[in-house]
A and B are shown apart, each in its own frame.
Chain A
Amino acid sequence: MQLNLLKSFLAVATCALVAVPSVSRAGLGADVSSVEADRAQLKATVHVLAAPRYSVHELQVPGGTVVREFVGLSGSVFAVTWRGPFMPDLRRMLGVHFDSYQSAVRVNRTGHARVSVLRPDLVVHSGGHQRAFFGQAYLPQALPAGVTNDELR
C-alpha cells in the first residue's frame, strides 16, 4: 500500500516536472517575452527605457498604477516596482515567488501600510495606503553586477 502511494506520488511529481516548461511564466525570473504577456493581461501600455546594465519596461495599467519590470542583459526579469492608486497583480508580478511571499507576510504583519519580506532568494517591500501604494520586489541573486536595489525605483 505504502509502496503504491509512493509510486503514485512519484508519477505525479514526474508529471509536474514535465509540465513546468509549458506553464506560462510571468513576473520575477521570467523571460523578457513575458513582459508582453503581462502587458496584454493587465491591459497596460508599455514604454521601454534602456540603461547600461538592464532595460526597464514600464507598464501603465488601468486605474493609474505604474509597474516597472527590470530585465537584465541575460533577458530575464530580476526586479519589479510599482507605484500608484491601486495595488498591482502581485501574483503575476512575483510569478513563481508569489506563494513564498504570501507565506512570509502571514507571519510578519506590522499594520496594513507596510510589509517587508527579506529572504536570501526574494526581497519584497510593499507600502502605502488607500489611493497611494508603492513597492519593490527583486531577486537578490539575480541582480546584475553593480546594480543596487536603491536604483530600482
Chain B
Amino acid sequence: MRSLRIWSRHAPACLVLLLLGACGGGAGSGASTGGPTALPSGPNVAPIIVDSGPAGTVNTPFVSVTLCVPGTATCQTIDHVLVDTASSGLRIVASVLDPMLTLPAAVDGAGNPLAECVQFADGYSFGSVKLADIKIAEEQASNLDVHIIGDAAFGSVPADCSNIGPPENTVQTLGANGILGLSVFREDCGTACAGAAIPATYYSCPAMGCQSASVALASQVQNPVWRFPTNNNGVIVVLRNVDPAGAALVAGALVFGIDTQSNNGLGSATVLTVNPATASFTTIYKGQSLPASFVDSGSNGLFFTDNSLTVCTGSIAPGFYCPTSLQSLSATLQSATGVSKNVAFNVANAESLLANNVTYVAFANLAGTSPFPATFDWGLPFFYGRTVFVAIEGQNTSSGLGPFVAY
C-alpha cells in the first residue's frame, strides 16, 4: 500500500559529468496529453517531467539543472530538481554532487564561508552557500550563490535552525535532488536578512563555528532567472492535462522570460499583482475571502479549508479530502488591484485516486485541508492543463513590473 507521504521507491540519481539532460522524459503508458496544444520549444525552454522522482512522490514537477565550477567546463547535470514557484534560489543536496565538482565557497566581508538554514513549513534544510555557473536550457547565470544542502562543511546544524522542525537534508526527506526556486522574489530572504542577523537564516562560519549573520542582498541565494542576461523577467510553467484517474507521467515545459520571445507571450492571460512582501493574493471561495493565497508548484495538492468536504480517515492520505463523489467547485483569484479570474476545479477521493493505479503519480483532482483558514494553496493540480506565468519583482514586462502571477 502506498500513501501520500514520501514512500521509498528509489531511482538512481544521474551523475554524469558534462552530459546535459542525462536523465529525463521518455514516453510511457499513462502519459498525459492535451491541455496546451503544443508544448513550447526553443533555447529558453527546459523540459519538465512529473514522475515519481528519486523519493517516490506524487504531483512533483522536475527539471534538470547544470552546475559548473565558475569559469570552467567542469560541470554536472542534476536531474530531478523540484520546480518550486513558492521559493527562490537553487538548492542541491550535497550527496548528488560529484566530488570533482569543487564549487568555491561564498564568503562574507571577513572571508568567512557562509551557510544557510532555509525554512519550510515542514522543516529546514541546512548547508553551505557556494558559487556556481548554472545552466538551464540555454540560459546561463555566472557566479551564482547556490545552497548546498546537507554537506559536511560545518559539522553540526546550528540550534536555532534545527529548532524549526525536522531536517530535510537528504534526497529522501527533501523529495528531490534539489529545488529550483523560481518565485517572484529575487533573493530567498531579501531585505530582512540584509538588515539584521535573523535567527535560522544565514550564518557566517569561521573555524570556531557558525554565527547568525546578516547577508547583503547580492550575496544571498538568488533566483537564477533574474541573473540571466536575457529572458530574465520571469518564468512560465506549462503542464499537460491530466485525466481524472491520474497519469503515470506528465510532460511540461519551463519557459524563461515573459513576452521576450515568440514562444513566451502573455497572450490573453490575466495578470494578478501579488503582495510585494508575501507574494500572496486573495482567493474568494464559497463567499470567504482568503487573503493569504499563493500559487505553489511545490505543493502536491490544492490545500484549502472546506468543512463540508469529508476528510480521509485512513492512513494513506491523512489530511486530504475523501468525498464520496467527485466534487466540482470553483473559486475566484483576485489581485490587490481588483483584477480577478475564475478557476474551476475538482476534488476527488484521495484514497481512491492513490489506490486505483499504483503507477500513477500525477493527479489533477487531489486536494486537502489547509493549515490556516485564510489561505488557498494553489498547488500542482492548478498547473495541469494551464500556462502559468510568474513575474519577478522589479523586472519589467509588457504588462508592467513584477511581482505578479498570470494565467
Contacts and interface: CB of A to CB of B under 8 A. Distances in A.
A113 B373 contact: no
B280 interface: yes
Interface string B376-406: 0101000000000000000000000000000
Given A114-B371, A127-B370, A108 B5 contact: yes
13 contacts: A87-B119, A92-B163, A105-B165, A110-B320, A111-B296, A113-B122, A113-B298, A127-B121, A129-B296, A130-B118, A131-B278, A134-B375, A150-B373
A5 interface: no
Interface string B156-177: 0000101111101000010100
A5 B328 CA distance: 62
A69 to B, nearest CB: 16
Interface of A: 62-64, 85-92, 101-102, 105-116, 118, 125-136, 150
Nearest to A85: B192
For the complex of A and B, the 4 pairs showing the least CB-CB separation, nearest first, are A125-B371, A127-B371, A129-B86, A112-B120
A110 B380 CA distance: 12
Contact of B164 (A62, A87, A132): A87
Given A63-B196, A86-B201, A128-B121, A115 B371 contact: yes
Given A125-B372, A127-B372, A113 B120 contact: yes
A57 B318 CA distance: 32
Contacts of A64: 192
Contacts of A133: 119, 121
Contacts of A112: 84, 87, 120-123, 168, 298-299
A105 B122 contact: yes
Interface of A is mostly: mixed
Interface stretch (B33-41, B183-191, B354-362): B183-191
A119 B380 CA distance: 28
A68 to B, nearest CB: 13
Interface string B115-135: 000111111100000000000
Given A113-B303, A131-B278, A132-B280, A63 B163 contact: no
A116 B168 contact: no
B324 to A, nearest CB: 21
A115 B160 CA distance: 20
Q: Pick the most buried of B86, B118, B201: most chain A CB atoms within 10 A of its CB.
A: B86
Interface in B223-263: none
A130 B200 contact: no
A129 to B, nearest CB: 4
A139 B279 CA distance: 32
Contacts of A128: 121, 292, 371-372, 375
A134 B190 contact: no
B371 A131 contact: no
B371 A111 contact: no
A83 to B, nearest CB: 8
A118 B319 CA distance: 9
Nearest to B164: A87
A107 B5 contact: yes
Contact of A110 (B279, B319, B375): B319
Contact of B165 (A86, A102, A127): A102
Nearest to A64: B192
B21 interface: no
Given A132-B279, A133-B121, A113 B370 contact: no
B27 interface: no
Interface in B260-309: 277-280, 292, 294, 296, 298-301, 303
B372 A135 contact: yes
Contacts of A108: 5, 318-319
A131 B119 CA distance: 9
A113 B368 CA distance: 12
A106 B166 contact: yes
A55 to B, nearest CB: 22
Given A110-B299, A130-B183, A133-B119, 7 more contacts: A89-B200, A106-B173, A112-B84, A128-B371, A129-B86, A130-B181, A135-B371
